[in-house]
Amino acid sequence: MATMVQVAEMAGVSISTVSHVLNGTRHVEPETKQRVLDAISRTGYRQDALARALRRSRTDSIGLVVPDAGEPAFAEMVHGVEHAAANLGLTLILANSAENPEREERATHALLDRRVDGLILGRAAVSTPGLLQLLEEEKTPIVLLDRVFPDLPFDQVGADNREPMERLVAHLIAAGHRRFALMAGDIRVPTLRERGEGFGNAIRAAGLDPADQIVLSGTDDDELKDRLLDAFRAPARPTAVIAGSTPLAVSALRTARTAGLTIPGEVAFAAFDGFNHSDLFEPQITTVRQPAFDVGVAAVRLLADRLHDGDARPRTVRLQQSIEFRASTEDFPGVDADRVADAVAEPA
Amino acid sequence: MATMVQVAEMAGVSISTVSHVLNGTRHVEPETKQRVLDAISRTGYRQDALARALRRSRTDSIGLVVPDAGEPAFAEMVHGVEHAAANLGLTLILANSAENPEREERATHALLDRRVDGLILGRAAVSTPGLLQLLEEEKTPIVLLDRVFPDLPFDQVGADNREPMERLVAHLIAAGHRRFALMAGDIRVPTLRERGEGFGNAIRAAGLDPADQIVLSGTDDDELKDRLLDAFRAPARPTAVIAGSTPLAVSALRTARTAGLTIPGEVAFAAFDGFNHSDLFEPQITTVRQPAFDVGVAAVRLLADRLHDGDARPRTVRLQQSIEFRASTEDFPGVDADRVADAVAEPA
DNA sequence: CTGTTAGCGCATTCAG
DNA sequence: CTGAATGCGCTAACAG
């Protein structure tokens, strides 16, 4: 590979001049400039991004750590981040922690050691003390992605999770549902916790008895399924199930199948994040859709702003989710009238 | 950030010694080594990957360019590549060409300029002359991903596309189908071309009349839909539709809906790549499933081998696809007996 | 067993 | 308007 030295020799100028025509950083006589340009194209010279970065102390790259590259929602965020980064001329270094605290810390260090100009971090459900300390001390701008932590002094982007859950549950209550099962999942994850909170808010706001609601939280998928199955087989089974994420939705759907319950005939169903092309398949699932691509874009935007003004006050951006109402919550034959009467008779 | 110089000063040794304890590259007296280690932890020193890479002429990173980061199959490959790269201590620089030749060339250059140790390239449907020339001249190891080009002197990984298509079509023919529609898509893409070829092979092998088959190729999605709709409305409409990719499957399903045809009641259907969790939804779609994650892993493996032995003969690896047979091709009430008789009476 | 030194390829200050 | 020289932070001869 040719270096500036060979270009300079061929053009009969100093490497300083080559550098300046390359970067347009000072005036160069048109004629010499042309000689340099010719030498560049004849040698096929290309700037070495590494050496340039070392000298300038900027890499024009950003790092992205996601907690689960396999989940479609995160894959979409990666897509959005890549897109926005490319638009700014930044290259993207990607790492996946796979919800593993050690991998998360290692990946974060690896990216920082590569001197990324900024880092977008979707934290794992649980982080190492080392990572938390690193976050505190690190000077490189960091944006937290998807999983929003209230008290951290970082720019953060995520979806608004409580509001759509409240709206969804209110909708189902208005349709007559009184007993819900929520597949809440790992509530150490802010996203899932917030969705769970939205659920609680809606139940209380409607004056329903929280004791009638089944909230299944935990990290053991098999156990969640078992508990949901028990609920399905109990005398007063839930008439509506809400899943807080795609994996939880898969578990819920499998459990409904195991229990022999049809959707929406025997149980209503809705999911956050959900499945692609839900409009094409039965059951048509009511879905709270997160603008995952845009969340990624917004993260880059926050990062770029911070790169530009390091002292601005940290911002937390919440993107709105939309609810795609479909048959899975609409076409059920109606809730058992007795049970509805019970629930209404003895509000919380 | 602390540099080796401060560590060396604090430990009372030369930077050379610091470097050697860091890299374990020559023996250091246990006692001095300990002093260095102490100084490192007290200063919070971390190696600068940039400077290290510049000096060593290796970045311990690899580049990945995908043609469509939004397609789930490629997202899975990205996941697989990241996973395998991380296992080898390599960081991943990701770029998306979005099927745009200029972006592809720009991205490839950007990664190469960053001196990635190797590059995994999923080519766009059409590349610039500049990219082709670059590929020819470039010394950095390159592995072609997913889209296999027969005559190129590169390591390549992709799925075997002809065989499963042949098997699928044979299966459908055995079930009585004689008139197919293939959503072939952009046959400049090797993957789609190979799937199309597999289709042709199967038709010929069965002695069916190619003229009875409808092969819809092209890049204009609306036009493909229109032509499929025409086919659906023709007197002798196809009894089975095969989609060569997920986007094509979406188009086909929408068109079937427009035409008011039920699956599999009135038309059988199968798709390559398909949808996640197809077992949970109706219609349950027969799917040719590509091991996308493993394709990504295999690409890294090829690249690592090449990094280790640059002179080995280029290899092309084809991973096998599995066919998930489901109701969409199984439970149709049967093909129109007359038409079957016709087709059998006048073989190609 | 350890230290000194010369670059890796570039951007940039300082001279001219 | 252009060139010479310095150093970003590190590794790897080379020397002792």
pLDDT of residue B341: 38
Tens of pLDDT, residue by residue over B157-206, are 999 999 999 999 999 999 999 999 999 999 999 999 999 999 999 999 99
Q: Which of the nucleotides lies closest to A20 (Cα–C1')?
A: C11
pLDDT at A206: 96
- The pLDDT of A54-70, averaged and rounded, is 97
pLDDT < 70 regions, chain B: 331-348
C1' of D4 to CA of A93 (Å): 37
Instruction: Decide yes or no: CATH 2.40.50.140 for domain B4-47.
Output: no
Angle, vertex CA A306, rays to CA A302 and CA A310, nearest 5: 160
Bigger pLDDT: A298 vs B345: A298
Average pLDDT in chain A: 93
Is the per-residue pLDDT at A180 higher than 70? yes
- Do A4-47 and A59-159+293-319 show the same overall fold? no
How confident is the model at residue A333, as a pLDDT? 59
Report the SS3 class of residue B92: strand
User: Which pLDDT score, from 0 to 100, does residue A184 have?
Assistant: 98
Confidence of residue A338 (pLDDT cuts 50, 70, 90): very low
pLDDT in tens, A113-139: 999 999 999 999 999 999 999 999 999
Contact list in B for residue A50 (CB cut-off 8 A) is 50, 53-54, 59, 114-115
- What is the radius of gyration, based on Cα positions, of chain B? 27
pLDDT of residue B332: 58
- Rounded to the nearest 10 degrees, the angle between the axes of helix B292-308 and helix B72-87 is 40
CATH number of B162-290+322-343: 3.40.50.2300
Task: Give residues 12-51 of chain B lying near strand D (Cβ < 7 A).
Answer: 15-16, 19, 22-23, 25, 45-48, 51
Can you give the pLDDT at residue B241?
98
Minimal Cβ distance to A93: which of B70, B93, B254: B93
- Closest alpha carbon within chain A to B111: A91
The whole-number average pLDDT for the span A303-313 is 92
Q: Using a CB-CB distance cutoff of 8 angstroms, which residues of chain B are in contact with residue A103?
A: 86
Confidence at residue B333, expressed as pLDDT on a 0 to 100 scale: 59
Contacting residues 26-65/A vs strand D (CB within 7 A)? 26-29, 31-33, 51, 54-55, 57
Query: Tens digit of pLDDT for each residue in A198-255?
Result: 999 999 999 999 999 999 999 999 999 999 999 999 999 999 999 999 999 999 999 9
Of A111, A113, A136, A138, which to mutate for an interface test with B (greatest number of B Cβ within 10 Å)?
A: A113
Question: Which residue gives the smallest C-alpha to C1' distance to C2?
Answer: B17
Report the residue from A86, A137, A282 with minimal CB separation from B281: A282
Question: In terms of CATH, what superfamily is A59-159+293-319?
Answer: Response regulator (3.40.50.2300)
Q: What is the pTM of this model?
A: 0.93
Distance A61 CA to D5 C1' (A): 30
Residues of A in contact with B47 (CB under 8 A): 113
pLDDT score of B343: 41
Specify the pLDDT at position A158.
97
User: What is the pLDDT averaged over residues A316-328?
Assistant: 96
For residue range B249-294, list pLDDT tens digits in order: 999 999 999 999 999 999 999 999 999 999 999 999 999 999 999 9
C-beta of residue A192 within 8 angstroms of C-beta of residue A162: no
Domain assignments of chain A as residue spans, ordered by start: 4-47, 59-159+293-319, 162-290+322-343
Instruction: Kindly indicate the confidence band of residue A342, based on its pLDDT and cuts at 50, 70 and 90.
Output: very low
How near does any CA of chain A get to the CA of B50, in Å?
A: 6
